[in-house]
Structure 1
Amino acid sequence: MKQIISICHSIMKSIYRILPLSGSHKELLKNFCYGKSGGIFKHIQGYQNWQVRQGVLCSLFSNTDSGLSIPDDIPLTTVIIPACNLKKIRKCLTSIRNAKIKSPFEIIIIDGNSHEDITTLCKEFPGIRMIHSDATPGFLSAANRGAEEAKGEYLLFLNGNTEVLSGWLDELAVALYKHPEAGMIGSQIVHGKTGKLYESGNLICRNGEILPLGCNDVPESPEFNYFREVDFSSAVSIILRRKLFLKFNSFDEVCGSAYLEEADFALKLQRDGYRNYVMPLSRVFYHGSKHCSVSDIFFKRWGNYLASHSLYDKASDFFAMRKYSHSRIFYLDAEVPMADRGSGGMDAIFFMDYMKKRGYDVVFHGEYTPDFIPKYTPILLRMGVECVYTPQRQVWKYLEQYGYSFDYLFVSRVYQAQCFDWLFRKYCRRAVYIFNTVDIHFVREELEAQIFKSSLLLSNAMQTKRVELLIASQADATIVISRDEKRLLEETYGLKRIMHIPQARTVRGRSGTWEERKGAVFIGSAHLPNIDGLLYFYNEILPLLPADFELTVIGEALRDMVKLKDECHALLECGQIKFVGFVSDLADYLDHAKMTIAPLRYGAGTKGKVASSMSYGVPCVSTSFGTQGTDMQHDVNVLIADTPRDFARCMVRLDTDFNLWMKLSDGGIDFLTENYAPEKVASMMDQVLSLATVHKKSLSVLCRPVVSASQLETISAEQTGRTTAEDFASALEVLGFWNHFILGVDTVEWADYFKKYTEKIIVNTKDRKDICDVILSSCIPEYSSFQYSEYLAMGGVWLLPLPAKNSANQFFNMLKRSGFNQMDLLESGGNKILCCRKTIQQKEVYGKK
């Protein structure tokens, strides 16, 4: 049966070759026939290759919306293709035609004494330029000749034995446009037969070995799928500026014999201060198979340079343990940032962009969106942010393998911090921990519980409070978004290292005239305070407004959530409220609106919708919850109203009073420029990193981990003297644990000493009217007694003098049974103190606890 199928396939192949169809139409015919064959050709090599290719295309382009924006003034790109054989060139050109390229480009085919009539391609592919070259056939001479004839500002060298994929040229051209420091940028190269990576850029080792990154891995592997610096990319597909190519005298024939002309040229660029990159979102299928190898000529020229600039001695070192040339930050958030759908996404993008500009390597994971998210994940990849996503990578496995490499942990939101606490403690203990609250969740949850009079919501808020305060107290630095939240944590709960970082917003400026503007806009995500705010507006404010007043609601997730809630159906049926869902550019609506509104009844942090409105010069009417912690002033840069009648009056004033409108518009722009300018926020972030690093170093000097009872016995034997109250205070000052903890003390001396550091001291630790976030015990008379197990079970942090040597083992086991997973020895005042940290109650992470 196989023989019959093979004969049939051969006949079909022969007919296919002589069909009077263009290459693109033949490709469509092949896809149709193979797709409808039901796998009867599964033992045929050609069918197997087709299956691999389709599988790769399906995995890489399941959603064609890549989110790439092409600048209007992007220069012309000249694509230079050295001719190989007619069949391969035709397939290559067909793939270019099907790639739906949006950037301006031209194609030059360099015919170096080909034995086939390449000129026939000009009829099939109108617009290409065919140039005959008398030089020695080969890539080097053809590429140099093509550069001389090019009209484009950008040169893109493409091997003729390739098929390009969607986004190939656009991704390269935009990357070069946005990176003036770039020398050469290469595509990710996928093997045409196996569908595995051929390379995603190359590194050159000190011994001259070429290390193709990602070779034989899957193309979407997170480690090799983001814009990153490399030593060079193979000239299968590379782009660079024409003036730069000519400045360095084109490709050098000396290294051409070893197929290392692009590596030689890349190192010339690198030595002159330029950076070479790979853009993995630009992909090509390559049907060749030869990798660059070590060359004596090349090594003689570059050996000394490589000795001082290469990351690895030899290629095998890369697989033994990864090295990194920059400090690394692991950035954890709830979901992949969606800057066009909410202020939280805008803030996350700003933070990561800031980190990249400061020279850090950033690795991102979104807990609730662990997969590759079309449009939004590519935005991060283009920024040069490595994204850990499933099914290619489970995040806990990634941290297990690479957690040692992180210098910083940047953790957004309490729930993500709680969920990943055990992973960070286990695999990233050396990393500086920065906790970004986004907003203080327990404050928002308490307000929500009060509004809805729910004991269940209040209980949840209390649990969130316990965890959030504990995380903030143990972090090396904590970021809050409003000044009110900073005061709350510092003055009410005694926390230290709290940094106020406002939302960074760029002033867009207003356009259009006041007379052309009409109605109001509400911007929001599916956040519960936003839904409550809309219902509050509909039920209590809208009836007080003119019957022709219109509200436009922007937010796709918000619209979808409203559709799911029965109590919100009236919003959808109201003729005065229009839900437009997602919009790509807020200017399309804000440039035509009289105002925006923020009728919020509860929440925490600051509201990005108010700042976004100001950036477009559109005044906002808000409740006090919408402006809390911002220092915005009523009737100066915003209108603030907390009753339905006052809110409606403010809206009518803005709709009818031109002078008031202009005053608030100018005031909002001035306020944003003074307080929310990105460069000012970046300077504040410098202080956060500095503060957190200093604190981590102070702990590193004082602390050493305790991991066994025998180690504790050894430490106990070294101890001399009794630990004093001053020693505990010194240790506490390093750790930063103060007012918000309940102190269990057994002597008046200790209680009096701590009074100057704490506002509340509860001597009887069984009195739990206050939240027991963390317990500090000054001393335990009998370590052999288990009367303290109840206190230990309450969690948090204990700061304890060391036990006697003969009871160390029993004491250690008691701590372990009580759930303490981190113990550190602190030395203070010549004495030794044991700091025992208890695991935060965990949620499940990918099946592991």
Structure 2
Amino acid sequence: MNQIKKLLIIGFVWPEPNSSAAGGRMMQLISIFKQNGFEITFVSAAQDSDFMVDLAEFEVTKKSIELNSTSFDDFVIELNPEVVLFDRFMIEEQFGWRVVEKCPNAIRILDTEDLHCLRTARQKAFKENRAFEIHDLLSEEVAKREIASILRCDLSLIISEFEMNILKDVFKISSDLLFYLPFLVEKMNEEELLKLPSFENRNNFVFIGNFLHEPNWNTVQYLKEAIWPLIKKNFREAVLEVYGAYPSQKVLQLHQPKNGFFIMGRAEDANEVVKKSRVVLAPIRFGAGLKGKLLEAMQCGTPSITTYIGSEGMHEGLVWNGFIEDNPEEFAKKAIALYQNENLWKESQKNGITIINKCYQKNDYSEKLISLTNSLLEDPENHRLHNFMGNLLQHHAYKSTMYMSKWIEAKNKN
């Protein structure tokens, strides 16, 4: 009989799958490991939220932990997990050295969510009104921290093939340390489209996205200031509903019903909102990773229009389920065409199913992840022996994080 393996997940926040794509991805990871016999404990130093998932329903043990405290050391020694998964590089910085010190044999996996250094560098270039260049990453401070974290871990989960290429080509990270793991969904067939609301039974344009995420807020501003006036000019009856968790006062101030621009706030069921909408608008101007809202649109049979950054890494060159357009005038023109042309709309729906079935099949990736994890568990020393830069960083780079944490801990006791 196989011994049950323990997985410890250290979360940046508690999972909120109805608030963000990151929350949905975390629940996908939990599902994969749970289905393969892992006993999972999820811990976080974040405050509880009203919208976090009830982990007990998924047979996952939940525990709150403290930052800069030896109480985590005592906890992890007692739990003695075989695998530790860090939710984003900031968590690995905070707790990775403690895991190495107290559970040196545990396999350390980093879920990057997306490359923060890529998102940060693009955002800086956007605000400085210049084109982003790949070499911007080499001078980005966040990159130094994030790449160090990737090197220190036994394996990093990368959500985008575009980001996989950056890590290998720009930062020269060995492919042995990386695993491509996109969003994972079930296979769809065209017959399932018949079960979804039809073209004539759908209304309005929609945008949906967590407002705590800066690229989403910027997208809504861009829609309001540049895209929507162009759409309304040629399609007076047009209505746009903007949904998103955690809208601030500055977001709510954009609500303008007379102009067909509605700020709707949090969606109780994002899937239902997208299913009843006719077209998703997502003119994203900076960011990284994969856009959960665009995959969700495909699953809901809702065509979308986005930018090249929005579609980046999402469709492997397959025809998009709508249009990809950076020019605002063309974006608006194609949005109207997609909304009004039923044949074009239906063809776009089918393109979305093709993308889902080619790029996001759960079974294609989950089995490989578990196989790779088990392989690391069988011989972690050999794997680490060939990661010299990671060993070097373990020796040196953790020291500043470790002693800063110890200093804060000592200060808190006084």
TM tier, smaller: 0.7 to 0.9
Distance 1:650 1:399, change over 3 A: farther
Asked if the contact 1:364/1:385 (under 8 Å) is kept, the reply is: yes
Please name the residue that 1:363 is paired with. 41
CA separation in 2, counterparts of 1:415 and 1:427?
19
Q: Please list the CA deviations of residues 224-271 of structure 1 after superposition, one character each: whole Å capped at 9, or x if unmatched.
A: xxxxxxxxxxxxxxxxxxxxxxxxxxxxxxxxxxxxxxxxxxxxxxxx
Please name the residue that 2:183 is paired with. 503
Please name the residue that 2:132 is paired with. none
Q: Which residue of 227, 233, 237 corresponds with 1:548?
A: 237
Larger gyration radius, structure 1 or structure 2: 1
**Within the alignment, does 1:735 sit opposite 2:387 as a pair?**
yes
CA separation in 2, counterparts of 1:421 and 1:579?
41
Distance 1:442 1:375, change over 3 A: closer
* Structure 2 portions without partners, runs of 5+: 130-135
Asked if the contact 2:110/2:157 (under 8 Å) is kept, the reply is: yes
Asked if the contact 2:274/2:300 (under 8 Å) is kept, the reply is: yes
**Within the alignment, does 1:525 sit opposite 2:206 as a pair?**
no
Please name the residue that 1:376 is paired with. 52
**Within the alignment, does 1:447 sit opposite 2:42 as a pair?**
no
Asked if the contact 2:68/2:405 (under 8 Å) is kept, the reply is: no
Q: What code does the residue aligned with 2:254 have?
A: L
Distance 1:736 1:641, change over 3 A: farther
Q: What code does the residue aligned with 2:183 have?
A: Q
Please name the residue that 1:212 is paired with. none
Per-residue deviation at 1:684?
A: 3.4
Please name the residue that 1:433 is paired with. 108
Distance 1:523 1:569, change over 3 A: closer
Please name the residue that 1:848 is paired with. 409
Per-residue deviation at 1:547?
A: 2.9
Asked if the contact 1:365/1:395 (under 8 Å) is kept, the reply is: no
Map residues 194-213 of structure 1 onto 2, 5 A cutoff.
Answer: none
Distance 1:361 1:448, change over 3 A: same
Q: Which residue of 560, 571, 594 corresponds with 2:254?
A: 571
Distance 1:735 1:633, change over 3 A: closer
Distance 1:462 1:655, change over 3 A: same
Distance 1:489 1:695, change over 3 A: farther
Asked if the contact 2:117/2:137 (under 8 Å) is kept, the reply is: no
Map residues 652-667 of structure 1 onto 2, 5 A cutoff.
Answer: 652-667=336-351
Map residues 43-62 of structure 1 onto 2, 5 A cutoff.
Answer: none
Q: CA RMSD in A?
A: 3.1
Q: Please list the CA deviations of residues 449-499 of structure 1 after superposition, one character each: whole Å capped at 9, or x if unmatched.
A: 111129xxx999822111111111121111110101001101111101211
Please name the residue that 1:493 is paired with. 171
Q: Please list the CA deviations of residues 657-691 of structure 1 after superposition, one character each: whole Å capped at 9, or x if unmatched.
A: 11111111011012112321222231232244245
Please name the residue that 1:743 is paired with. none
Q: What code does the residue aligned with 2:107 have?
A: V
Q: Please list the CA deviations of residues 75-127 of structure 1 after superposition, one character each: whole Å capped at 9, or x if unmatched.
A: xxxxxxxxxxxxxxxxxxxxxxxxxxxxxxxxxxxxxxxxxxxxxxxxxxxxx
**Within the alignment, does 1:350 sit opposite 2:28 as a pair?**
yes
Q: Normalised by the size of structure 2, how large is the TM-score? A: 0.85
CA separation in 1, counterparts of 2:109 and 2:24?
19
Asked if the contact 2:69/2:409 (under 8 Å) is kept, the reply is: no
Secondary structure in structure 2 of the residue aligned to 1:339: coil
Distance 1:736 1:578, change over 3 A: farther
Asked if the contact 2:224/2:254 (under 8 Å) is kept, the reply is: yes
Per-residue deviation at 1:354?
A: 1.1
Per-residue deviation at 1:525?
A: 0.7
CA separation in 1, counterparts of 2:208 and 2:143?
28
Per-residue deviation at 1:438?
A: 0.5
Please name the residue that 1:141 is paired with. none
Asked if the contact 1:326/1:359 (under 8 Å) is kept, the reply is: yes
Secondary structure in structure 2 of the residue aligned to 1:839: helix
CA separation in 1, counterparts of 2:277 and 2:154?
44
Please name the residue that 1:467 is paired with. 145
Please name the residue that 2:335 is paired with. 651
Q: Please list the CA deviations of residues 562-619 of structure 1 after superposition, one character each: whole Å capped at 9, or x if unmatched.
A: x1x3xx4651245422222233323432222111121110001111010011011111
CA separation in 2, counterparts of 1:415 and 1:625?
24
Per-residue deviation at 1:502?
A: 0.7
Larger helix proportion of the pair: 2
Please name the residue that 1:797 is paired with. 392
Please name the residue that 1:403 is paired with. 77
CA separation in 1, counterparts of 2:206 and 2:242?
6
Please name the residue that 2:279 is paired with. 595
Asked if the contact 1:420/1:845 (under 8 Å) is kept, the reply is: no
**Within the alignment, does 1:512 sit opposite 2:197 as a pair?**
yes
Tell me which moved more, 582-591 or 357-366: 582-591
Same amino acid, percent of matched pairs: 19
Distance 1:681 1:574, change over 3 A: farther
Asked if the contact 1:481/1:500 (under 8 Å) is kept, the reply is: yes
Q: What code does the residue aligned with 2:77 have?
A: G
Number of equivalent positions: 391
CA separation in 2, counterparts of 1:551 and 1:476?
45
Q: Please list the CA deviations of residues 770-793 of structure 1 after superposition, one character each: whole Å capped at 9, or x if unmatched.
A: xxxx9xxxxxxxxxxxxxxxxxxx
Please name the residue that 2:133 is paired with. none
Secondary structure in structure 1 of the residue aligned to 2:254: helix
CA separation in 2, counterparts of 1:374 and 1:540?
35
Asked if the contact 1:621/1:639 (under 8 Å) is kept, the reply is: yes
Please name the residue that 2:369 is paired with. 685
Structure of greater relative contact order (alpha carbons < 8 Å, 6+ residues apart): 2
Q: Which residue of 484, 492, 502 corresponds with 2:162?
A: 484
CA separation in 1, counterparts of 2:9 and 2:69?
12
Secondary structure in structure 2 of the residue aligned to 1:435: strand
Q: What code does the residue aligned with 1:339 have?
A: P
Secondary structure in structure 1 of the residue aligned to 2:140: helix
Secondary structure in structure 1 of the residue aligned to 2:108: strand
CA separation in 2, counterparts of 1:659 and 1:608?
26
CA separation in 2, counterparts of 1:412 and 1:590?
28
Distance 1:503 1:583, change over 3 A: same
Please name the residue that 1:39 is paired with. none
